[in-house]
Amino acid sequence: METSIIDRFRDTPEGREADAILRACVHCGFCTATCPTYQLLGDELDGPRGRIYLIKQVLEGKEPTRRTQQHLDRCLTCRSCETTCPSGVRYAHLADIGRVIVEGMVKRPLGERFIRRGLRLFLPYPAGFKLIMRLGRIFRPLLPDSLREKVPAIKPATPWPESSPRMRTMLVLEGCAQKAATPNTNAATARVLERLGVSLVRAPSAGCCGALSHHLSAQEEALAAMRRNIDAWWPYIESGAEAIIITASGCGAMVKDYGHALKDDPAYAEKSTKVSSLAKDICEVLAAEDLTPLHIDGAGKSIAFQSPCTLQHGQKLSGVVESILQRLGFDLTPVADGHLCCGSAGTYSVIQSKLSKQLLENKLASLEAGKPELIATANIGCQLHLETRAKLPVKHWIELIDENMRGN
């Protein structure tokens, strides 16, 4: 694709990156076939190719409008288009650049600004998230249906195993929403890894991965979160931690992108690249281990696995969790259109609730069609979103393994 980037953007890091991404696109349209929002709305501007043209026009000097912003907002950043694209177009990075530029040029209505600011103030912090959860439970009967169903149940924390100095060491990202809403996920991970001779270590000063602020176009806020985590993890990395384990695939996709996000920061460029290289979804670790010490026999338990977009498209780990579950004897039911998003997509279920609900209904129909005993997933956002309307229990797949270890 030919471009003519205006002076305002041409010589900036973002402008140069956007130009390279745009030039890789041959506007073949394969991406539209796997885009969830294009399938729902049938509008070229609500598909990757259309959004690419919108961003190109802005970079070439066309003034963006509120309509431009809305089409970019409707993108889930699920990256299904990247999996489909034969030219390797890095659409997600282009969308991030375009959104930040448009955010600075088009003023949002007061209500939208209030909601987006509120999400950034509370959700990235476990204490803030817990406060919202508690208030939601108290006032749940008074809330409108659209909000009532989003209030998650408060799940109890479970104990972590004792570590031994002789064990291998790996770090864990505790996160924000997951630490508050499903604290057992990382505790279960610690128990599973302990069986495999690995001690899972928490860095107390680490926090949100930065994804929420990043996808709401608050870039400096996101970068600050990334730097804080790098600083928190660095002493452990220098002491020999093998990996940084992430059990929320959305956070994993973000941490693996730290090297790119901080590439122009001389103080953090090298460290961020190292952190990204050490970041591993828990499925990557288990896939490489002998799982015999877990003493699991799935005994044909019927599971529908919802593969989050951030796992299969963002981290390119399609089929890895499924393979582990099958190795352990679980029976996976077929899931039609498994490449499509469930509609969670971070804060998307709040700021684009109508589209999100349509995607959720479609996803649950596919997951429940095979009549499984439960639904397993690999991302806290997807888990909480699916739970709002699922007829079956929804769990993180690592908790399923923990529950079925003999000798627990």
What are 138's strand-pairing partners?
Answer: none
Beta carbons of 214 and 96 less than 8 angstroms apart: yes
- pLDDT at position 159 is 82
Q: Answer whether residue 146 shows pLDDT above 60.
A: no
Q: H or E stretch including 396?
A: strand 394-396
Range scoring the smallest mean pLDDT among 173-187, 200-214, 331-345, 363-377: 173-187
Rounded to whole angstroms, the Cα distance separating 242 from 257 reads 18
Report the percent of the chain where pLDDT is more than 90: 80
Asked if 342 and 363 touch (Cβ cutoff 8 Å), the reply is yes
pLDDT tens track for 193-226: 999 999 999 999 999 999 999 999 999 999 999 9
Q: Exposure of 319 by Cβ count < 10 A (0-12 exposed, 13-18 middle, 19+ buried)?
A: middle
pLDDT of residue 162: 77
Cβ(380)–Cβ(185) below 8 Å: yes
Query: Is residue 404 scored above 60 in pLDDT?
Result: yes
CA distance 78 to 35: 8
| pLDDT at position 118 over 90 | no
Residue 179 in this model has a pLDDT that exceeds 90? no
The reported pTM is: 0.92
List the strands of the sheet with 244-246, edge to edge. 198-202, 168-172, 244-246, 279-281
Q: Looking at this protein, which amino acid is placed at residue 169? A: T
pLDDT band of residue 311 (cuts 50, 70, 90) is very high
Beta strands 331-332; 302-305: pairing state:
parallel
Helix (H, G, I), strand (E, B) or coil at 333: coil
pLDDT at 144: 60
The yes-or-no verdict on residue 354 having pLDDT over 90 is: yes
* DSSP result, 147-215: HHTT-PPPPPP-PPPPP-TTSEEEEE---SHHHHH-THHHHHHHHHHHHTTEEEEE-TT----SHHHHH
> What's the pLDDT score for residue 91?
97
pLDDT at position 141 over 70: no
Q: Compute φ and ψ for 171, nearest 5 degrees.
A: -85, 160
Residue type, 271: K
pLDDT of residue 138: 60
Q: What is the pLDDT of residue 131?
A: 67
Answer whether residue 154 shows pLDDT above 90.
Answer: no
Least confident of 83-92, 155-164, 310-319, 321-330: 155-164
List the one residue out of 401, 392, 387 whose CA is nearest residue 321: 401
Whether the per-residue pLDDT at 300 is higher than 90: the answer is no
The least confident of 81-85, 173-177, 184-188, 399-403 is 173-177
**What 8-state DSSP symbol labels residue 372?**
-
Output 155 or 8, whichever has higher pLDDT: 8
* Other Cβ atoms within 10 Å of 271 Cβ, number: 19
- pLDDT mean over 298-310: 92
pLDDT confidence of residue 377: 98
What does pLDDT average to over the chain? Answer: 91
Q: Is the pLDDT of residue 54 over 80?
A: yes
